[in-house]
Structure 1
């Protein structure tokens, strides 16, 4: 294919991928909003609500290694589209149950498990295909536009869900999600996932690796990528320690500081706005030169922000000052999420062999989520028995300690050997 034509097609991919992601993410988040409220109104039980969260996390964690094998072995476009089709059918099934028998917890939990698996397969397929969809020079832009779509959905979906919930029936929410998912299928079908792909073609007569052998070869490949392994370990430990924030933030603002629900919602919106603005920034700026170093500093800042969440518990502030303070805190936290994730995602896209991307990204997802349920349970227990401010400050200190140790100067130098040791930028 002519290079100018390929570039034109890559530009089409950039925006088609973004629109597809926006539509599917918006539908998924409006659905999640409605289902969360429905479960709480139906049962009044936090346990039932938490069970639905577990149904979302556990299946994708367990299936991640198998997803990596499938994504590396078969057509990534077919996997992405099939996942979206199954998502649409699953919501259609829940709609049929709703209209014939009424929604039940079993039907909701079953659908959540299916959606968890399809979103994971779709996510790994797309993550593994970025370098096949766009040219190398615009990988950072592709990752940023992807994050922008998610941020737009995060900002808009609670507002739309809040306006619709109570005004329309649950079947309307389900039909909305089905329409959004169907539109995403149509857009994804027009994309060429092999435009810039560098996957090896199997020789005639060559036998395919068996699944366990393929997974093992993926692990062996990872062991040769010491910097990627470091990123995976950082992801595992940081996502565990983020439990202090995930559980503590809502607990502190709602239970301890008695913040009104609409003000609490605005602080959550500030998080999405921070993500959105910095996604736009990364989509326009040059590629980050030293991604692991930038991410290290971003995680250090996130640890500081987690510790700073405790300040209104230590110092008396007016209600208005407290609200403004947490809007700024959440805006900063959302900004840091993009500063940490985008450079690392671009670095991984460029450094991981195309034939191993599915397995590597699936292992990364599995490791990132592996300790999250444990972190939620542990921190839920701790917040019931210990002062919230000391939990946050201790977790912040641990988070900063983890990044200083795992991303120490020697690791940064290994990731970016081209950097001048004499610049002093390798210091903590």
Structure 2
């Protein structure tokens, strides 16, 4: 009986996505709302960094703010995934955006009457991160309910392009707005972005998969474990999970050390560091556009493996450059950016392979695992980069990422991914 019900749901989704071109209108409406929210959030995030630097000039405070941005997503991930799979993805996305907006509204109100204390900013960052822990898996789980299976990889490219555009626009817009507006006005801008995102979600039709009777009866804690169980049953997906964890362990510290290698090793200025960041963002935009048009290799593990390999080689070469080769480093940054969107193909693989009723838990588990790997990488990279030299740490991380790429090409379990298409 349950199998018949699941087949009926799949048929309903297939009719909506494959035989009705309205899926494009629905998807791009959602994506437009997410883009507005993503850019406004990026502007606020940069403005908060400017504020903390101006107020404290403390590396410890900035590190704490970074960790607060990651840890709630890591800790709440399993709970959020189970919650997403038990409720309407549309309602979860709207609720998460409204909570984030409300937290920003309180902060704007405080900023109107007094100078913002650091602790209040940390609390709001905590709430925003917690909201993201629910919003991200809900959006990822909703996408395959809208988009045809054969279009998921290209849609992953659209998402990566949107993120790249935000990465280019947000820092420049934040620098301009922070100079002419008070912080509470920038917070209000982010609130407007969140509300517009809620509107686009509200007017979109997003099917909700029906829970099986076993899931309805079981305890919530057992429900949370099922994301791991579902991945464990598929060797390819389970291998992708751990590849992602190891990849993030090496990659995230490198991304935070860009300013240091620009200014310390290449003897540059903050302008040089900004140029490297912009080069990466422009490369990411190009990569997202290419992926949106091309769709990647037919065997998706080749797309993922090539992405990781290019990232590793570019990082390793960056550390081997002489101190007067900054322009070559900028080229390497562009290649890193181009490679990044192609790793996002893994989202399409999970969306195609995992049953819709488990997608929230699976994506939350992926986010939690990656978020836990990031702080460990950051804690280790700081002392080692200082002791060995930041350029040598780039070489070490580059080699580590290359090994991860080889694992993508060679692990037998990952071949099963392409056999499920």
The verdict on a shared fold, with TM-score over 0.5 as the criterion, is yes
Matched, 1:374 2:376: yes
Distance 1:161 1:221, change over 3 A: same
Report the secondary structure of 1:192's partner residue: coil
Report the secondary structure of 1:258's partner residue: coil
- Hey, what does 2:108 align to over in structure 1? 95
Shift of 1:76: 0.7
1:158-215 CA distance string (max 9 Å, x none):
1111112222111111111111111111111111111xx6x23556x99432111112
> What is the TM-score with the length of structure 2 in the denominator?
0.91
Matched, 1:355 2:357: yes
Q: 1:200 aligns with which of 173, 197, 210?
A: 210
Pick which of 140-149 and 86-95 moved more.
Answer: 140-149
- Hey, what does 1:220 align to over in structure 2? 229
Matched, 1:308 2:310: no
CA contact (8 A) 1:307 1:393 kept: yes
CA contact (8 A) 1:247 1:379 kept: no
- Hey, what does 2:274 align to over in structure 1? 265
Matched, 1:24 2:27: no
Shift of 1:267: 1.8
- Hey, what does 2:4 align to over in structure 1? none
1:203-262 CA distance string (max 9 Å, x none):
6x9943211111223322221111111011011111111244124322111122221222
In the alignment, the residues of structure 1 paired with residue 19 and residue 114 of structure 2 have an alpha-carbon distance, to the nearest angstrom, of 51
Report the secondary structure of 1:416's partner residue: helix
CA contact (8 A) 2:266 2:323 kept: no
Distance 1:260 1:389, change over 3 A: closer
- Hey, what does 1:426 align to over in structure 2? none
Q: 1:398 aligns with which of 397, 400, 409?
A: 400
RMSD between superposed Cα atoms in Å = 2.2
Q: 1:73 aligns with which of 80, 86, 109?
A: 86
Identify, as 1 or 2, the structure richer in helix: 2
- Hey, what does 2:150 align to over in structure 1? 137
Shift of 1:379: 0.7
In the alignment, the residues of structure 2 paired with residue 414 and residue 75 of structure 1 have an alpha-carbon distance, to the nearest angstrom, of 31
- Aligned residue pairs total 408
Q: 1:326 aligns with which of 326, 329, 354?
A: 329
1:311-360 CA distance string (max 9 Å, x none):
33xx353xxxx34212211110011111222x222111111111111111
> What is the TM-score with the length of structure 1 in the denominator?
0.90
In the alignment, the residues of structure 1 paired with residue 50 and residue 216 of structure 2 have an alpha-carbon distance, to the nearest angstrom, of 50
- Hey, what does 1:237 align to over in structure 2? 246
In the alignment, the residues of structure 1 paired with residue 149 and residue 166 of structure 2 have an alpha-carbon distance, to the nearest angstrom, of 27
In the alignment, the residues of structure 2 paired with residue 358 and residue 68 of structure 1 have an alpha-carbon distance, to the nearest angstrom, of 4
Q: 1:106 aligns with which of 85, 102, 119?
A: 119
In the alignment, the residues of structure 1 paired with residue 392 and residue 215 of structure 2 have an alpha-carbon distance, to the nearest angstrom, of 59
CA contact (8 A) 2:105 2:187 kept: yes
Pick which of 26-35 and 382-391 moved more.
Answer: 382-391
CA contact (8 A) 2:97 2:198 kept: yes
CA contact (8 A) 1:71 1:79 kept: yes
In the alignment, the residues of structure 1 paired with residue 61 and residue 215 of structure 2 have an alpha-carbon distance, to the nearest angstrom, of 50
CA contact (8 A) 2:108 2:185 kept: no
Report the secondary structure of 1:166's partner residue: helix
In the alignment, the residues of structure 2 paired with residue 116 and residue 4 of structure 1 have an alpha-carbon distance, to the nearest angstrom, of 32
In the alignment, the residues of structure 2 paired with residue 292 and residue 187 of structure 1 have an alpha-carbon distance, to the nearest angstrom, of 33
Shift of 1:377: 1.6
Report the secondary structure of 2:20's partner residue: helix
1:50-96 CA distance string (max 9 Å, x none):
11111111111100000010011111110000001111111001011
CA contact (8 A) 2:303 2:343 kept: yes
CA contact (8 A) 1:247 1:380 kept: no
In the alignment, the residues of structure 2 paired with residue 201 and residue 107 of structure 1 have an alpha-carbon distance, to the nearest angstrom, of 39
Report the secondary structure of 2:277's partner residue: helix
